[in-house]
């Protein structure tokens, strides 16, 4: 049984008051709970750091455009 990180890390009841529409939207779309555990907060932070690095990391030069197989251009209509 996993018991590490199961204590409450934050108290977000001021933002996610149970029984409100705002709480339903935040919980449903983001999965945030009014009292997240230490392990939940840790995993959210790891996810945010990894995704931020992925999005913000410089990609170097742009990839070359892929060309379709050689197709002769159609003659222009006069």
Q: What is the structure's pLDDT at 1?
A: 65
- State if pTM tops 0.85: no
Residue 16's domain spans which residues?
Answer: 8-42
Residue linked to tokens 């750091």: 49
Burial class, 7, CB count within 10 angstroms (exposed 0-12 / middle 13-18 / buried 19+): exposed
Q: Give pLDDT tens digits for 15-60.
A: 888 889 999 998 999 888 889 999 999 999 999 999 999 999 887 6
Q: How many domains does the chain have?
A: 1
Q: What is the structure's pLDDT at 28?
A: 92
In a domain, 24, yes or no: yes
SS3 state of residue 30 = helix
> H or E element: which one contains 45?
helix 38-56
Q: What is the structure's pLDDT at 62?
A: 59
In a domain, 60, yes or no: no
Does the pLDDT value for residue 78 go beyond 60? Answer: no
37, 8 contact by CB (below 8 A): yes
């Amino acid at each position: 049984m996993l018991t590490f990180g199961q204590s409450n890390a934050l108290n977000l009841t001021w933002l996610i008051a149970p029984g409100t529409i705002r709480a339903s939207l935040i919980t449903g779309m983001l999965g945030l709970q009014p009292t997240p555990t230490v392990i939940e907060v840790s995993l959210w932070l790891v996810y945010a750091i990894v995704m931020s690095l992925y999005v913000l990391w410089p990609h170097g030069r742009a990839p070359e455009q892929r060309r379709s197989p050689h197709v002769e251009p159609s003659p222009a209509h006069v």
